[in-house]
Homo-oligomer: A and B are copies of this chain.
Amino acid sequence: MLKIGILGSGSGSNMQSIVDAVEAGTLDARVVCVLSDVADAGILARAARHNIPHHYVDPAPFKTKLEGAAEERVIGLLQEYGADTIALAGFMRVVKSGLLQAFPRRVLNIHPSLLPAFPGLAAWKQALTYGVKVTGCTVHFVDEGIDSGPIIIQRSVPILDDDTIETLHARIQVEEHKAYPEALRLLAAGRLRFDGRRVLGT
């Protein structure tokens, strides 16, 4: 059984999809804690509603990364709650080597595009502006780069002529909420193996 620690900065809809899968018995895991770098993030309120231990961790003095005292505090809390798998779920900071080395090949992220296309912020908006006809979402292991780690699952999503950034984002999120539990299910089943940077067993 996976013991998942979740890090997020926003409303927590991906965290919700993971918690729902656990509660429905379709994912052999427990969410042991939810941590956020945003004091009033919706993800913390969602954790409270599900009686999941949750903490705000002050990220100062950094603006865009998790490092220094905040990184130490996050690692300490994750270890304290016994997490063995870390799921980034809308966590808007770059995680650094401290966290990655504390949980080697056990830090996952979900990204709203078919990586390696459109890494970085607001990937759905990047895709719409570029004019691709197919985008999607990617669950991947986190490495030291930006959205560059080995890919576990991708789900594709069509882009329609009348899409706005809002309608496209919503359609991608529907697939995200299937993809993240599915990737964790594969991890829980011990099926994943590496071949270079390919992840097999999916």
Residues facing B in A160-202 (CB within 8 A) are: 161, 196-202
**Beta-carbon contact of B129 and A196 below 8 Å:** yes
* C-alpha spacing A116/B126, complex, angstroms: 11
* C-alpha spacing A131/B198, complex, angstroms: 4
**Beta-carbon contact of A151 and B133 below 8 Å:** yes
Find A150's partner among B131, B136, B197, B200 (CB 8 Å cutoff): B131
What is the number of residues of chain A that contact chain B, defined by CB distance less than 8 Å? 28
Q: Which residues of chain B have C-beta atoms less than 8 A from A128's C-beta?
A: 198
**Beta-carbon contact of A201 and B115 below 8 Å:** no
**Smallest CB–CB gap between A53 and chain B, Å?**
33
* Residue A85 at the chain B interface, CB threshold 8 Å: no
* Residue A134 at the chain B interface, CB threshold 8 Å: yes
Find A116's partner among B130, B136, B155, B200 (CB 8 Å cutoff): B130
* C-alpha spacing A39/B130, complex, angstroms: 37
Q: Which residues of chain B have C-beta atoms less than 8 A from A136's C-beta?
A: 134
Which of A115, A118, A133, A136 counts the most chain B CB atoms within 10 A?
A: A133
**Smallest CB–CB gap between A164 and chain B, Å?**
12
**Beta-carbon contact of A114 and B116 below 8 Å:** no
**Smallest CB–CB gap between A171 and chain B, Å?**
15
* C-alpha spacing A201/B131, complex, angstroms: 12
* Residue A122 at the chain B interface, CB threshold 8 Å: no
**Beta-carbon contact of A202 and B116 below 8 Å:** no
* Residue A1 at the chain B interface, CB threshold 8 Å: no
* C-alpha spacing A128/B118, complex, angstroms: 18
* Residue A36 at the chain B interface, CB threshold 8 Å: no
**Smallest CB–CB gap between A180 and chain B, Å?**
14
Find A117's partner among B114, B131, B200 (CB 8 Å cutoff): B114
* Residue A132 at the chain B interface, CB threshold 8 Å: yes
* Residue A154 at the chain B interface, CB threshold 8 Å: yes
